[in-house]
Structure 1
Amino acid sequence: MNSKPFSRVALRGDLIDFSAQPALEDPQSTGVRVRPDHWLLIDGQRIVAVQAEAPGPDWPQEDHRGRWILPGFIDTHVHSAQIDVIGAWGTQLLDWLNTHTFPAEARMADEAHAQALSALFLDSLLAQGTTSAMVFPTVHKHSVDALFAAAQARQMRLITGKVLMDRHAPDFLRDDVAQAERDCTALIERWHGQDRLAYAVTPRFAPTSTPAQLAMAGGLMKAHPGLYMQTHVAENRDEVRWVAELFPEARSYLDVYERFGLLGPRAMLAHGIWLDDEDRALLRHSGAALAFCPSSNLFLGSGLFDWAAAEATGTAVSMASDVGGGTSLSMLRTLADGYKVQAMAGRHVSAWALLHAATRGAAQALGLAQEIGALEPGLMADVVVWDKACTPLEARRQAVAQDVHDAVFAWITQGDDRHVVATWVAGGLRYRRAPSPGRQSEA
């Protein structure tokens, strides 16, 4: 990990963030703030000013004119242990879990492996411009300890919790209700609310938890106000049919979680592809949010998420890589796939809607807009500097852009980790790209 804390620093560049939610399909929508050639001042862990004029000589300065400066991306659904199976060839969701996911997660039984992989995972997020995440580790208690400890060392905002699975999983990954409750309680007491860490009750998905375990999970939510809940819902049609067989008393897949007290304003449900109007009304009523995982949905052939329907019912939608079903930790690549998924339904989502869902919109969905997701005085200095272009072809595309939306949209569709210049977390420099003589845009 490349870590160099600053007491203060002033960054100069083209700032982009949001003051309000932009319209889904309008490139001219209000809410976006584009501040060309501005200074972002960081003192300690927080942003203290955004200004057009240069700061005084007592401020250490970095000149990034011609580059974007954005809030760090927020990935609201990703699996740390699954970096071992990114891009694994396979079939649809349920077979893919057995063939690739569960064997990779089994390796987390080794504590040293869990520590090394957690460090690699978080450093990889930072190198992709992601500074906060809601993460699935594994069923192993020490996988949660390892992830929290690594995030704490990097001062990252991280939400995670022990995965709960007591049925329909291999023996080596199943827990039981009593032991799982003890493990979760110990982890909550140790980590929840420490520094920038928060605990999420984490049933993998309804089929891998018995009613008794789901009831225990709901009990944890009730006993510890302020916890998050994360799980999967309605990702795949075969999965939806399976849930209906396992929980015949429930009206729908989403209703299973409602019956066990798992929905609420701090609940994040990944996918939500195969929902109906009653489900969307339940989401609105409960305040739960959806994590849109376009790369994973395309790769596993799960279906096309209806963003407009979710938005119309007032459900918060954020963006998520869902690695390892997703094929990259890059939120830029995730956003580009999100555009493609919506285009299949005849919608042309703006660059602003995409970026908002990975920054301020994600922060709002997690109840963290007072801390992260924008470039405003008082917020934590989770900030990323980006190159607009890394190749002559990209530079040409930027040069002929019709307006700032055209330039940003082209950057989203062409960009990846090569474009990350530097990443600050809580005011500390956590990643800086190594200089490359062949990189035309390297300052």
Structure 2
Amino acid sequence: NLAPNTTYTRYATAFTDYSDSLPSNPVSTHTLANLPGAAANTFTSVAAASLSLNWSAGEPANPSYTNYEVNRSTDINFGINVSTSYVAAISSAPAGLAPNTTYYFRVRAINLDNLPTDFAPVVSTATLAVDPVSPSFAQVSSASFSFNWNVADNPPLTRYIAEISTDNFATLTRSSSTLNTGAGFTGLSANTLYYARARAQNHNGQDTSFTAVITTVTTTAPPLNASVPFTNLSANALTFNWAAGGNSAGTNYNPEISTNSDFSAPISSDVTTNLNYVFTGLSVNTTYYAHIRALGAGGLASLYSSPVVSTVTLALAPATAATPFAEVFASSFTFSWENGGNPTGTLYTAEISKDGFVSVSSAIQTSALSAAFSALAANTIYQARVRAVNFAGVPGQYSSPIVSTATAISAPVNVPVPFLSLSAGGFTFSWGNGGNAAGTNYN
């Protein structure tokens, strides 16, 4: 039951039943120290370049004057990079350490005769990493960017956590764990504001503070052609439609149309945040080419949509001519109309009917403003109408009102046997209708 690491002095006397001798010269020795024990918190105040190592005085406890030998190494076997210190305390605070480095420690007690105990079990921890600095963006496109930072004094194999957000980290959009000094983010939304930050993590999984938050805006992406690029087509207007192509809501778009496929003379719209635009005041039966681009931050524009799409405005209804019929004969006539505002080269389909267009008797397609109908029935009322067909083959409205005329009568013709039922008092005189319609009166 002696105390550890304590000086004990002994001497001896001889004695008989009658008396004792004088004591011998005293002799002294020191008990061994006890093996250091574990502290409640082995490591405290861990920083990037320093820490505190703690242990207990053992059981029973070594006296306060006991010296301890502390070995530190980056090798668990203490074969290299061994640093030794001696303290008369139950803690050690080494400084000048490397950031994010795992250090191994072992401690033993030394008694007053400089006799050491065995080493207590090896303990280890990693110093903290140093905060990354100088965050920046590179290679910003419509769907990706690189987020980079400087590593300060952190060693290779330090882990970094990079994070991005679209709402200043009220929510997290994406994160990346990497051993590099930058992270690439893909699959992003075009023309969108992104916030970014990064922090380092030491080998124990302890995080540093984040870098300052920085922002960038992804570039705009070329809009895509809609499955139906043109709607509400009329003679003087159209609606041009497109798809966002990955651009965020609220992106500005600049649609253009032109009568030239190379857009050498574009008709530009105002900027719009919609996915369609109505063009008015257009020319009748005219081919228009259309494309669209997105406008990003600072007005930086994307490429135009591809391929260019085109359509043709509708033709107008032809106008009724002042004299719609000419050269009216028993078997033919010429039907005329006015262009109604359609350009030269417009095709027209002229139609005639004998029953109010329950059926069509004949139709002629022409780029002229008249059509000559032949092989008609004599003395027959014909109705006539016409409509224009645009250059895409889409017919417009019919002329209004429907006009009509009657073909002329033709001379009846003699038949091979003009007289029948011949008698002393009479006969029947017969003839051919000569092409006149049923119901024609003859004299």
TM-score by length of 2: 0.16
* Larger strand percent: 2
* Structure whose alpha-carbon radius of gyration is higher: 2
Structure number with higher helix proportion: 1
Q: Structure 1 length normalisation: TM-score?
A: 0.16
